[in-house]
Structures are given as C-alpha cells and as structure tokens.
A and B are shown apart, each in its own frame.
Chain A
Amino acid sequence: MGKFLLRRFVNYLILVILAASMTYILAGEALNPRAQFQAKTPPPPKASVDASLKTINANPDTPILVRYKRWVGGLLHGDFGKEINGGSVGADMKRRILVSTRLLLIATVLGSGLGILIGAYSAIKQYKFSDRVITLTSFVLLSLPLIPLAIGLKLLAVKVNGWVGHRVLEYTGEYAPDSHGWGRFTSRLQHLILPTLTLVLGQVAFYSRYQRATMLDVMGNDFLRTAQAKGLRRRKALMKHGLRTAVLPLVVLIVYNVSLLFTGAIFTETIFAWHGMGEWSVNSIQQSDVNVVAAIGIFTSCLILIAGMLSDIVYVSLDPRVRV
C-alpha cells in the first residue's frame, strides 16, 4: 500500500513541477509588466522602471531562463517572490487562501450534505412525483451558468433589501469593516448567504444525482432484503445499511471535487468581491503580475496533487484489491 501511494506521489510531484514551470514560463513570456509601470501618470523614466522590474525579477529583457532560475532559487527557500507593487506574494497568498477556504468549506459541507440527503430521498421515492421533480430541478441547476446565476442572485438581493426596508442580504466583501464583536459575526453571516448559495446550488444538484444512482444500485442488493427479513424496519434498514454503503463512492468524489472548487470560485469571489484566491488569479493576470500568476499556478496544481493523493488514499483504504 505504501509503495503504491509513494509511486503515485512521485508521479504527481513531477506533474506539479512541470505544470508550475510551464505556468511561470508562459506567464513570463506572455505578460507585459513593463506596460503596467509605463501606464502610470506621469510615466516614470525608463531607468526607474527597469529598476523596479529588476527588484521583482520580471524584466522582460532578462532571458526567461535566467528569471526562471532566480525564481526557483527563491522558491527553494520558501520565497514566492514579490508582487508587482512590491508586496510579498507568500504573505498575501496565506491571507487569501484563508478567505477562500472560509467560503468553500461551508459551501462544500452544506452542498455535499444536502446533496446526499436529497439524492437518497429521491432514490427511495424512485419514479414518484417528488423524485421526478428533484431530478428535473437538479438537472436544470446543473446546467445553470454560474455568472448569470450570481448576478441574478445579487439583483434579487437588492429587491429583497428594498422590500424589507434595510440591508439584510449583503453582496460585497466578507464583512462590514466598521463592525465589532457580535456585530461582526452577524455581518459575516449576512455576507456569506449569497456567495454560499451560488456555490451550494450546483453542488447539491451534482451530488444528489450521483447519490441517487449509487443508492439505487445498493437498494437492489440482497443484504437489504436480509436486513428487513430479520426484522429491521424499512426506514432503518435503508438508513443503516443502505445509505452507509451508498455514501462511500461519493466520499472519493467529494474529496476530489474540493480542489476543483477553487477554480469555480473565481466567479463567485469576483462577483461578490471576496478577496480570495479566485479573484486574485483574475486580478494578477489583468495586472501582468508574473510572480502572483506563477504562485497561483503552483497552488492549483498542488491542490490537484493533494486531491489526487487523498482520493487515492481513500480508494486504497476502501478497496483492498488496489493494495497489491
């Protein structure tokens, strides 16, 4: 088992290194940070632009391989380099990862939990009216593009606030900066509702469809009949023996999907002005911030590595056949 996982890990690690290097080199060649400095008013003299470009190791006149070598050298000491405005990429990244995690953790827990429950319910009520409604709704939700959904929710919030008379639903940022203590907590909640809803709707739909399929497979099994035959009520048999077995394949999927969520969060974060990783990735490219783009490249490919490893571990511990 250890050998299998180690081999997978080495394989993933090589892929991550390649992916991160590719991101850095592409970003270094395609983006033009010089234009960012020259766009300032009044335009700074060329010498000072060159000096600032040099301090952030992003001068397009330096050969890309030289810049790459310097960047890797910094990375080995845990230094992600400097942002285009001189700040530290590493410090900013730490802060932003926390912001994204706060948003995504709640959304994932809610989304997968609700999805599993609704999917199981829908499987038990197969072909009944409620099942049909759930199936159709989840299909529609799955096809909803995120951008119009998020903007639509925002517009709806404006309407709701208008009806209520004061701002109940907030749609910019994480919390009101002037709030303290208990007020800060409620402010956080108010700001959480809309972005969480945006992320949760699609997840509930996705997991419920999956859970419904696995649950239906399990429900045809003999051990459920046996459980009922030995005197267990149908509900208890389904909950204790059915649901438990049917959830297992989903766990692998959830673990894997968490990483992909970070990319999905780009839209949610940008539209609701959360300063997380998703928003950062768009901003950094718009500002030609090479080192930040490279850091995000490392971050996303590391997430895929972690997700892949985790789902491998879950898979190995669940399925003894893989261990050999």
Chain B
Amino acid sequence: MTQPSENLVIDAEVESNDGGYRQAPDEGARRSRSRGRLIFRRFLRNRLAVVALILFIAMFAWSFIGPHFNATFKGDAHCTPAVTPGLPGYDHTCMWDYKQNDFSSFSDGPSSKHYFGTTQSGQDVYAQLLRGMQKSMVIGLLAAVMTTAIASVVGSAAAYFGGFVDRILMWFVDMLLVVPGFLIIAILSPLFQGSTWLLLVVLIAIFAWMVTARAIRSQTLSLREREYVSAARYMGVRPARIIARHVLPNIASYLIVDVTLNVGGAIITEVSLSYFGFGIQSPDVSLGTLLQAGQDKATTAWWLFAFCGGALTLIVLCVNFVGDGLRDAFDPGSATSRAR
C-alpha cells in the first residue's frame, strides 16, 4: 500500500526541483486519475449505455413525480386532492389516482381528460402505469441488491472457510438450483397475500442468488491465497472482517455489474408472478397485473397493452444495456467487449 504514495512524493520532489519541467508533472497528473474515474470515462464512451442509464433514471423519477401531474377533475371529499389541503391554490379539484374509477368514461382512448385513456372499469391508465412502473422498478432494484448480497456472503464464506463449510453451502446451492423457484414462490403466494410486498422481494432474491454465489466462490478461492489476506489472517483479523475488508472490495466490480444485470431478471420475475396473480395483488398494481388485465382487450383498446408492455420492455432493455456497458468499463478485456 505504501508503494504508490512514495512514488508520488518522489514525483513531487522532481517537479519542485526542476520547476515543473520535463515529463514529471504530466506523469503525476496521469497517475492521479483514480480507477473510478477511468471506469467512468470508459463507461461514458459507450453511448448506448449512457443513453440507457439516463432513460432508466428518467423513467424511475417519472414514476414517482408523474402521478402529481395527472389530469384533474372536480370530485368529492374522498379523492386524491390536486393541491394538498391548506396550501394556496387548494380548490377541491382532484387528481386521478390508480384506484379511482371515472364512471363517466369506460374504455376511452387517450384524451386530455385521461392522458393514456381509461380501463373497462374507468380507471386512469396513466396513473396505473406509473404506479405499476414504481412497484416493478422498486421491487426489481431491491431484489437485485438482495440477491447479490446473499450471493456474496454465501459465496465468499464458502470459499474462504473451505472444507466442511464449503461443502455444506455448495450442496445447499445445488439443491436450490434443482428446486423450481418460480413454482415455489407461486405456491407460497397465498401465504403472503395479506402481507407486505417486501416479502415478495425476499422470495425473488432467495431463488435467484445461486449462480452468482458460485461465481463469487471461484473468485474468492484465488483471492484467499493472496499475501495480504494471509497477512491479515496472521495479524489475527477475524474472518468476517477479512471477507468484508479484503475479499469483497476486490470483487466489487463484479458485484456492481451483477447487481445491474440482476435488476432485469428480478423485474421480469416480479412481472411474471404478478401476471399470473401470484405477486402483487389488486387493488395495488404492477406492470404484470396491468399486462394481464390489458392483454385481452388490446385488439380494440391498444392503450391498455401498448403503454405497460412498452414500459416494461424499455426498462429491461435499459437495465441490460447499462449492465453491459458497466461490464465493458470494468473489464475491457472481457468477452462481450471483445464482441463489440
């Protein structure tokens, strides 16, 4: 660890002695560019990934901000007010939300009254779409982070401790790979129907971490033999601390890419479960329930399928492009970057 900083000091001396002459200052500047900056610059060069990242962030933000800019109507006391009561401008106008029915407009196309049209029962598609995007994206992001977290704990522990622990953990991984995850979550769905959607996040993560755990295990196996890990061990550092401080930071690039790529998978799992009625339950909506509700009427009422189908496709595409761009930025020699 002391090696680079010493060099920098020497460089600085050279620089001061020669009055910033020769190659030294330039050399120092190049060295000070951190790895993070390098990766960031490499990522920026991949225009498709940058556009995808901006689009994803925009969609995420829109799903939270957008509902506050929906069309308004004169309603009763029970609706969502357009302006919070008490603030200036409050005048009893209401805003369509995803639960509200408009009994004067059934299966109507997009208009100024309902930006993205209404469903058969008069619900506002714009409000439902944004609510669905919110749910699906939040669940996807949380489940992806949790997946990689479980995988890194199990994978690194199995490799670091080796022997008996390794065998038990990997056997567990093998078993979960054989168990049909989608089926099990679907079976368990009646149990969490009344409770929170966070349980769904946990279940999606529980059946998705195994492949990543194997990859992390094989990377940790080689890291374990490094001198700095042995040094830490001989100094009496506890295993949990060694894994957290010396092993995981060294595979951070892999973990970041893995989280990104898992987001797409988690979103699709959630959407599929909700599509069959095993995930998010009515009256709440997700992109999956919207697809299920809209598919049969889509031939006559295109707005019921086009918006949610398009949103889902766009989200998953964006996430995957970002993940691909990140992988290339972290590891320019990887197979995918060679493929470009």
**Which one of A49-57, A93-101, A173-181, A296-304 is at the B interface?**
A296-304
Q: Is the CB of B335 within 8 A of A213?
A: yes
Chain B positions 272-323 with a Cβ under 8 Å from a chain A Cβ: 272, 275-278, 288, 291, 295, 298-299, 302, 305, 308-310, 312-313, 316-317, 320-321
Within 8 A of B (CB), among A266-297: 266-267, 270-271, 281-282, 285-286, 293, 296-297
**A17 and chain B: residue at smallest CB distance:** B178
Q: A15-B175, A143-B317, A158-B299 are in contact. Are A151 and B180 (CB under 8 A)?
A: no
User: Could you tell me if B339 and A213 are in contact, using CB atoms closer than 8 angstroms?
Assistant: yes
Q: Does A130 contact B (CB under 8 A)?
A: no
* Contact across chains for A155 and B277 when beta carbons are under 8 A apart: no
List 5 other contacts, CB 8 Å, given A26-B187, A155-B299, A297-B180. Answer: A22-B184, A144-B317, A151-B309, A282-B186, A285-B278
Asked whether any CB of chain B lies closer than 8 Å to the CB of A139, the reply is: yes
B191 at the A interface (CB under 8 A): yes
- Please indicate the chain A residues that have their CB under 8 angstroms from the CB of B338 in the complex: 213, 216
Q: Are A26 and B186 within 8 A (Cβ)?
A: no
Contact status of A27 and B339, CB under 8 A, knowing A143-B320, A151-B309: no
Do A301 and B187 have beta carbons less than 8 Å apart? Answer: no
For A297, what are the chain B residues with a Cβ–Cβ distance below 8 Å?
180, 183
A23 contacts across to B, CB distance below 8 A: 179-180, 183-184, 187
For the complex formed, measure the closest distance between the CB of A116 and the CB atoms of chain B, giving whole angstroms: 16
Residue B264 is within 8 A (CB to CB) of chain A in the complex: yes
Q: Does the CB pair B271–A145 fall under 8 Å?
A: yes
Closest 4 CB pairs of A and B: A148-B309, A143-B320, A300-B180, A19-B179
How far is B308's CA from A142's CA once the two chains are assembled, in angstroms? 19
Per-residue 0/1 for A103-146: is the Cβ within 8 Å of any B Cβ (1 yes, 0 no)? Answer: 00000000000000000000000000000000100011011111
CB <8 Å contact, B298 and A300: no
A11 to B312, CA, bound (A): 40
Number of interface residues of A (CB under 8 A): 48
Q: Which residue of A lies closest to B174 (CB)?
A: A15
| A215 CB, min distance to chain B CBs, angstroms | 11
B190 beta carbon closer than 8 Å to chain A: yes
Contact B335 A22 (CB under 8 A): no
Decide: A26 and B180 in contact? CB cutoff 8 A. no
0/1 interface trace, chain B 22-40, chain A, CB 8 Å (1 if under): 0000000000000000000
Taking a contact as CB atoms under 8 Å apart, the answer to whether A305 and B178 are in contact is yes
Partner of B178 from the list A15, A143, A154, A296 (CB cut-off 8 Å) is A15
Residues of B within 8 A of A135 (CB): 339-340
Interface residue? A30 (CB, 8 A):
yes
A132–B188 CA distance with the chains assembled, in angstroms: 44
User: Within the assembled complex, what's the spacing in Å between the Cα atoms of A26 and B181?
Assistant: 12
A296 lies within 8 A of B183 (CB): yes
29 contacts between A and B (CB under 8 A): A15-B175, A16-B178, A23-B179, A26-B188, A30-B189, A135-B340, A143-B264, A143-B313, A143-B316, A144-B317, A145-B271, A147-B272, A147-B275, A147-B288, A147-B291, A147-B309, A151-B298, A151-B305, A212-B339, A263-B180, A263-B182, A267-B272, A271-B295, A282-B276, A285-B186, A286-B277, A296-B180, A301-B179, A304-B178
Considering residues A22, A139, A146, which has the most beta carbons from chain B within 10 angstroms of its beta carbon?
A139
Q: Which residue of B lies closest to A302 (CB)?
A: B178
- Indicate if A88 sits at the interface (CB-CB under 8 A): no
Interface residues of A in 230-252 (CB under 8 A from B): none
Are the CB atoms of A30 and B178 closer together than 8 Å?
no
What residues on A are CB-neighbors of B298 within 8 Å? 151, 155
Instruction: Check: A18 CB closer than 8 A to any chain B CB.
Output: yes
Measured CA separation A296–B180 after assembly (Å): 9
Asked if A73 CB lies within 8 Å of chain B CBs, one says: no
Q: Counting CB contacts under 8 A, is A87 at the interface?
A: no
Using Cβ atoms and an 8 Å threshold, which residues of chain B touch A151? 291, 295, 298, 305, 309
On whether the beta carbons of A27 and B264 are closer than 8 Å, the reply is: no
A31 within 8 A of B: yes
- Report the minimum CB–CB distance from B291 to chain A (whole Å): 6
- The answer to whether B178 and A26 have CB atoms under 8 Å apart is no
CB distance from A24 to the nearest CB of B (A): 10
Chain A residue nearest to B298 (CB atoms) is A155
Looking at the complex, which one of B180, B190, B317 makes contact with A30 (CB distance below 8 Å)? B190
Q: Is A32 interfacial (CB-CB < 8 Å)?
A: yes
Residue of A nearest to B294 (CB): A151
CA–CA, A268 to B189, complex, Å?
Answer: 22
Q: Are A31 and B309 in contact (CB under 8 A)?
A: no
- Residue pair B313, A148 in contact (C-beta under 8 Å): yes
Q: In this complex, what residue of B is CB-closest to A159?
A: B299
| In the complex, chain A residues whose CB is within 8 Å of the CB of B340 | 135
B299 — which chain A residues lie within 8 A by C-beta?
155, 158
Question: Separation in Å of the A217 CB from the closest CB of chain B?
Answer: 9
